[in-house]
Structure 1
């Protein structure tokens, strides 16, 4: 690698790291607000929130890296052109394809990062996130053992415990169940215990009262009891089995799309094949975006306003190609024989970049700000 290649590649990677950090932070904060509300309202701790956000980061980074690569190449080359560094490079005899070499190296590095995330880190993090979520939903003890606060461990369920003894006995329990459309039931008990069984967790209440309100005729039925067992299976998910998300499976299993993979995910063969091929096409798309951006920046004549028209053209082209990628993904999900359609937008991005660079090499100099 020559001196110019190392210099330009290093500059692009620096900008890429900066914009990736900014975009990941913005994306993460946007998602973390909703996650924080849902977890804390359910009685989870701040450590649990941090654990969930850490597991969600690989998926966020996977979505952000192609955008960061595009922004980095547009900002970096525009800045080098404004500082006349590209003029010096052109004067030294560096043609369009010579300028494209460090850009291709940069795109290759980005593609490696996207591939590692898509094939390894994102599936592993999604599996860990799903398993941790299922474990948290079953851990009703942590949700109930919080005294002096109204908790909402499930949709339509409110729990309040006045005091908790050292033995784990709940004193002054209030439980309201609003999950039914026709009835609303409120339970009060002097004390209660959480009992784990093979079939699930039960809340055993002693010396209490149940008040059931019929929403239709507004009638109220009151029942006093010495002891009563409330089944929490419906609240926390009694069925411990779950269908895995196709994005959790290894790439080989997705491309194979056999009966076992379809059984554990409940997805069709077309959906599995599309997900497996999408991981490859995303890497190609991320590698092709810098080359396409370089091709657009080489178009047009000199302007005192800079390269903003070429930058806008590159951004619009990237948006259109990404929309075409979404359309191709939808087509591939419906027909297993059309899995190859997913690769067309990424290949079109690379082809467009190559054509633009080739056009600039026909005699029209790149970055027309260079002196004649």
Structure 2
């Protein structure tokens, strides 16, 4: 790498590092606001808050690194053009691809970083993050209960307490437990207290009623097609307890892992013993291809930025249309990428759209940087090429 390459690469690398860290910090700040309540109102330690939200950072970097590669490449090369540095470099005999070499080196480095994040770091961090969520929901459920609020512990258990005494006693309790399929239970109690249990926290209730709706099968001899009836069972009690740690599947030590926290091998070759639904298998395949194709966006977006900055004349008060066009191209590509990913998750036959959205912009940008061979050369295009070559 020549001294000129090092000069341009240093500007690109410093800008990429600053913009990526700044944007990731901004995204982390907005996303972590939903966890601040656990620290301020529910007693979770600040160290746990930092660890929990820090596990989200690798996924942020994996998403924003291709975007910041485009932004930094476009900004640095446009600045070099407006400062007439590119004019001097072209006058020294440097070709388009020679000028693009530092940006291509940086984009290649971004691709490698994204592959490391997508294939190893992000799945591990997402698995740890989901494990924290599972533990908070099942083992630390006591901190989720807030007076005067309907608190959801999981997807099928809701607890409400009118207020909480200084000694921790809950008053005016309502518990709706839908973890038993087809037999939801509603419990009303005057008081209760969170107590430890063998599988996690339990709420011990005093002086209340237990109401359960059950389906009663039709009696023998009923006409065929007779629908079952429902029956409301009401039971009064002086003391009862509800396990807050038991999940709807009756599992306390395991949980279902989604596509984001599985490794590439688990996505492409899932364990048959898990009996994964067909819908999730399609999502796994689409997620695997997105992990393999996504990092290449850094190279494609970098090429789009180079095609925008190196094939036009940028003056201090001109070139805004070309800049706007390059930015809009990347915005449209991001939108198409989200759509293609969703479609591929529904129908694996549409997975080639994911790769086409990643590779096509880079190939077209290479063609533009090469002078668009085979394209009819109009006057405007001829002037553009004249500005691009010494």
Q: Note whether the superposition's TM-score is higher than 0.5.
A: yes
Counterparts of 1:281 and 1:224, CA distance in 2: 59
1:33 shift after superposition = 1.5
1:265-280 correspondence runs (5 A): 267-280=279-292
* Equivalent residue, structure 2, for 1:340: 352
1:242-265 deviation digits (Å, cap 9, x = unpaired): 22111211112323x345387357
- Check conservation: 1:298, 1:367, Cα contact below 8 A: no
* Equivalent residue, structure 2, for 1:293: 305
* Equivalent residue, structure 2, for 1:90: 90
In structure 2, do the counterparts of structure 1 residues 339 and 360 end up closer, same or farther at CA, with 3 Å as the change threshold? closer
Residue in structure 1 matching 2:343, options 328, 331, 335: 331
* Equivalent residue, structure 2, for 1:260: 272
**Structure 2: tracts of 5 or more residues without a match:** 179-183, 212-233
1:128-148 deviation digits (Å, cap 9, x = unpaired): 0111111111224752899xx
1:272 shift after superposition = 1.8
1:162 aligns with 2:165: yes
* Equivalent residue, structure 2, for 1:243: 256
In structure 2, do the counterparts of structure 1 residues 192 and 245 end up closer, same or farther at CA, with 3 Å as the change threshold? closer
When the two chains are superposed, the root-mean-square deviation of aligned CA atoms in Å is 3.6
- Check conservation: 2:138, 2:246, Cα contact below 8 A: no
1:69-114 deviation digits (Å, cap 9, x = unpaired): 1111111111112222212211111111111211110110111111
1:127-276 correspondence runs (5 A): 127-140=127-140, 142-143=142-143, 153-154=151-152, 156-159=158-161, 160-164=163-167, 171=169, 175-177=173-175, 186-189=188-191, 192=193, 194-197=195-198, 201-205=201-205, 208-210=206-208, 225=238, 227-233=239-245, 239-240=251-252, 241-255=254-268, 257-260=269-272, 263=275, 267-276=279-288
Counterparts of 1:258 and 1:193, CA distance in 2: 39
* Equivalent residue, structure 2, for 1:167: none
- Check conservation: 2:340, 2:350, Cα contact below 8 A: no
1:210 shift after superposition = 2.5
1:73-84 correspondence runs (5 A): 73-84=73-84
Counterparts of 1:43 and 1:196, CA distance in 2: 20
Counterparts of 1:290 and 1:62, CA distance in 2: 15
In structure 2, do the counterparts of structure 1 residues 151 and 140 end up closer, same or farther at CA, with 3 Å as the change threshold? farther
Give 3-state SS (helix, strand or coil) of 2:275's partner.
Answer: helix
| Larger displacement relative to structure 2 (328-337 or 61-70) | 328-337
1:150 shift after superposition = 6.5
- Check conservation: 1:192, 1:203, Cα contact below 8 A: yes
1:222 shift after superposition = 11
* Equivalent residue, structure 1, for 2:12: 12
- Check conservation: 2:137, 2:245, Cα contact below 8 A: no
1:187 shift after superposition = 2.7
- Check conservation: 1:44, 1:142, Cα contact below 8 A: no
Give 3-state SS (helix, strand or coil) of 2:367's partner.
Answer: helix
In structure 2, do the counterparts of structure 1 residues 276 and 209 end up closer, same or farther at CA, with 3 Å as the change threshold? same
Counterparts of 2:352 and 2:282, CA distance in 1: 11
| Larger displacement relative to structure 2 (29-38 or 98-107) | 29-38
TM-score (norm 2): 0.77
TM-score (norm 1): 0.80
* Equivalent residue, structure 2, for 1:216: none
**Structure 1: tracts of 5 or more residues without a match:** 165-169, 214-220
- Check conservation: 1:301, 1:367, Cα contact below 8 A: no
* Equivalent residue, structure 2, for 1:64: 64
1:199-224 deviation digits (Å, cap 9, x = unpaired): x643334xx433789xxxxxxx9967
Counterparts of 1:230 and 1:34, CA distance in 2: 27
In structure 2, do the counterparts of structure 1 residues 260 and 298 end up closer, same or farther at CA, with 3 Å as the change threshold? same
Give 3-state SS (helix, strand or coil) of 1:359's partner.
Answer: coil
